Homo-oligomer: A and B are copies of this chain.
């Protein structure tokens, strides 16, 4: 952790980069304490503000945590699933919303990944995930539900489906795919008939998963994908017509 690189970037970015590399390659193991801010000033020969800006960059990426007080300091943080989820979702959401990714592309990615997950979910589902799925289906049927609430429940349903695969890495990867779609889905106003159709497919899906029927689950997901695309098409062309 003595040499930095890329003299084009800011000092704080260079320092953050050097420390980040040391964390990634394992030179700095989890829970290791970094040198104090003052010591880092001396090591990198910069002022404390610069060191602090570097540390804030690392904290923003959940690479370190800081602790005040006598035995405090900056420590290499064990990246947990919750933090990783949050970052994934932020990044995915912005990537979709800022790059004019069309609905069809995002939708395809999401359902492709979800279909990959379904066979595992069918094989390994446990009662708790089935309960969650059924509960969300019930919520989706309630009258007076706003479009946002409907979409939120949709996300919860699909997350339960994914989590039923009992592979945390898979859940993490799909969190972004599923959640990032929500803002796009929120742009759609679902008619009562649309909702009915979705609810029926969700029910079919939950049944298939319960019966450990991977083939049927895949079929339903494929239908759900094309129906979702069709609904989006209807809404968007209607809007364009106006």
Given contacts A56-B57, A91-B84, contact A98 B116 (CB under 8 A): no
Tell me how many chains of this kind the complex includes: 2
| Proximity string of chain A (81-104) to chain B, C-beta cutoff 8 Å, 1 when within and 0 when not | 100100110111111111101000
**A173 touching B56, Cβ below 8 Å:** no
| Proximity string of chain A (147-176) to chain B, C-beta cutoff 8 Å, 1 when within and 0 when not | 000000000000000000001111011001
From A22-30, A34-42, A200-208, the one touching the partner chain is A22-30
Closest Cβ neighbor of A171 among chain B residues: B109
From A58-66, A134-142, A189-197, A230-238, the one touching the partner chain is A58-66
Distance between A194 CB and nearest chain B CB, rounded to angstroms: 23
**A109 touching B16, Cβ below 8 Å:** no
Given contacts A16-B60, A84-B95, A99-B78, contact A116 B112 (CB under 8 A): yes
Given contacts A106-B169, A169-B106, A170-B109, contact A97 B49 (CB under 8 A): no
**A81 touching B95, Cβ below 8 Å:** yes
Taken together as a complex, chains A and B put the C-alpha atoms of A172 and B26 apart, in Å, by 25
Given contacts A87-B87, A94-B24, contact A109 B169 (CB under 8 A): yes
Taken together as a complex, chains A and B put the C-alpha atoms of A181 and B165 apart, in Å, by 19
Interface residues in chain A, defined as those with a beta carbon under 8 Å from any beta carbon in chain B: 12-13, 16, 20, 23-24, 26, 30, 49, 52-54, 56-61, 63, 78-81, 84, 87-88, 90-99, 101, 105-106, 108-109, 112-113, 115-117, 120, 167-170, 172-173, 176-177
